Amino acid sequence: MSISSDDKKYIWHPFTQMKTAENPIPIVSGKGSLLIDEDDNSYIDAISSWWVNLHGHAHPYIAQKVNQQMGKLEHVMFAGFTHEPATTLCAKLSRHLPQNQRKFFFSGDGSSAVEIALKISIQYWKNKGIRRHRILALEGGYHGETFGAMSAGAKSIFSAPFENYLFEVDHLPFPSDEEATLSALKSQLEKKDVACFIFEPLVQGASGMRMYSSATLNKMIALCKQYNVLCVADEVMTGFGRTGTYFASNQLNIEPDIMCLSKSLSGGTLPLSLTTCSQNIYDSFLGDDLSTAFLHGHSFTGNPIGCAAAIASIELLEKEECQKQIKNITNRHRAFAMEIAKHPMVKNVRQSGTILAMDIRSEKRGYSSDIKQLLYQHFIADGVLLRPLGNVVYILPPYCITNDELNKVYNSIFEALKKVE
């Protein structure tokens, strides 16, 4: 069954512009790493459909668990009620999260998880009767599309139309120069009015898979803790094995106070997110009346079907087979990185676990660069879904990707480089 162009005309796709308006590829089905379109062309989903998919598309085990839950309880409001999928999910997650993460607040997407983290941080200090209102973030960060998340993120073409409506956030230099970042952090902390520091641990996703060391992040968090500043790890992209460990924060020797999870939380099947925090933070919200309570709740908070998908995804992730695959992808990437780094058109090849990224040498940079479009078209024609961020080509595959599929992705990058040369 093909979609008629008359039916297609109503949909406003993200990022539509005149010259691309628009011929979205109609996807009919998915299986493993593959997406299959109306004309039976297949595409290897080498970026996990915007970093969400974990075990492949239309996974039968997740589908079965979602189905069962659908027939039992589809939804119930979450103020004053609870259910087994939510409690099981949180108990399972608590075994992988840093030990201090004890309380879990549900929402529906990464941006909301970030808004909640910021609101919790701000209200925590209000509840304590201490004046601390400023928010620190890293230059080049991306935390989502809502106003708070945009405020914390880097100023860009995405946020430009709304600049007058964003609240003030202080941005620290990206920690490529550790000393500069630490000294900027210290001078901010000395003002003693910082409520929280939010960061994407180890890898900044949307700004171009920019990576920095756990050693530096350890020092930054340690410094924040000296000044009692809450540290918020936005693991919306880095969570669930992408960086080689269950969470990127597992590579730190110091625990963040708050964490944001979404994207692969449900295996990339349903919208679901969590903001987790320490007992100490939660306790500050318990008072005799509502004035210190966290008065925030989305209609679909704690949706049981999303939770069922997340439990199924975590069960798959815990399997030895999946852990082996994560190691295999990491090793294959490492070998490819050595090869591609020799190419004259490539620089800054970098890797964190299953995420591999490189810059393509080009006059034109930035998100809307022509090179991005040229590369994207090449990959699609080649049956590979890779969507460069400006001149940054990266691979972030689902864990079910096969060695043959990985080879095809690697080859497609080599072929693309011939075209831009």
Which residues lie near ligand PLP (CB under 6 A)?
A: 109-111, 114, 142-145, 200, 205-206, 234, 236-237, 262-263
| DSSP reduced 3-state for 153 | coil
Written as one letter, the residue type at 326 is: I
Least gap, CB of 50 to ligand PLP (angstroms): 7
Spacing of C-alpha 318 from chain mean position:
20
Distances in whole angstroms, Cα of residue 108 to Cα of each of 144, 236, 266, 298: 13, 12, 11, 8
Which residue lies nearer to ligand PLP by CB, 93 or 417? 93
Within 13 A of 212's CA, how many CA atoms are on the CB side?
23
Which residue lies nearer to ligand PLP by CB, 203 or 326? 203
- E strand intervals along 174-293: 194-199, 203-204, 210-211, 230-234, 258-261, 273-278
Q: What is the C-alpha separation between 44 and 413, in angstroms, rounded? A: 13
Angle at 358 between CA 352 and CA 363, to 5 degrees: 155
Angle at 260 between CA 401 and CA 186, to 5 degrees: 115
Which residue lies nearer to ligand PLP by CB, 32 or 271? 271
Which residue lies nearer to ligand PLP by CB, 307 or 340? 307
Which residue lies nearer to ligand PLP by CB, 189 or 258? 258
- E strand intervals along 212-301: 230-234, 258-261, 273-278
Least gap, CB of 113 to ligand PLP (angstroms): 7
Least gap, CB of 248 to ligand PLP (angstroms): 10
CB atoms within 10 A of CB 21: 9
CB-closest chain residue to ligand PLP: 110
Tokens of 55: 């075990």
Contact 231, 224 (CB under 8 A): yes
Least gap, CB of 167 to ligand PLP (angstroms): 17
Within 13 A of 123's CA, how many CA atoms are on the CB side?
20
Which residue lies nearer to ligand PLP by CB, 97 or 114? 114
Which residue lies nearer to ligand PLP by CB, 34 or 396? 396
Written as one letter, the residue type at 90 is: C
Provide CB contacts within 8 A for 320, sequence distance 6+: none
Least gap, CB of 198 to ligand PLP (angstroms): 9
Least gap, CB of 271 to ligand PLP (angstroms): 7
- Helices 320-340, 304-318: axis angle to 10 degrees equals 70
Spacing of C-alpha 247 from chain mean position:
11
- Kind and range of the H or E run holding 42: strand 42-45
Least gap, CB of 143 to ligand PLP (angstroms): 5
Least gap, CB of 246 to ligand PLP (angstroms): 16
Q: What is the C-alpha separation between 329 and 401, in angstroms, rounded? A: 8
Which residue lies nearer to ligand PLP by CB, 200 or 382? 200
Which residue lies nearer to ligand PLP by CB, 54 or 346? 54
Which residue lies nearer to ligand PLP by CB, 104 or 410? 104
Least gap, CB of 135 to ligand PLP (angstroms): 15
Least gap, CB of 205 to ligand PLP (angstroms): 4
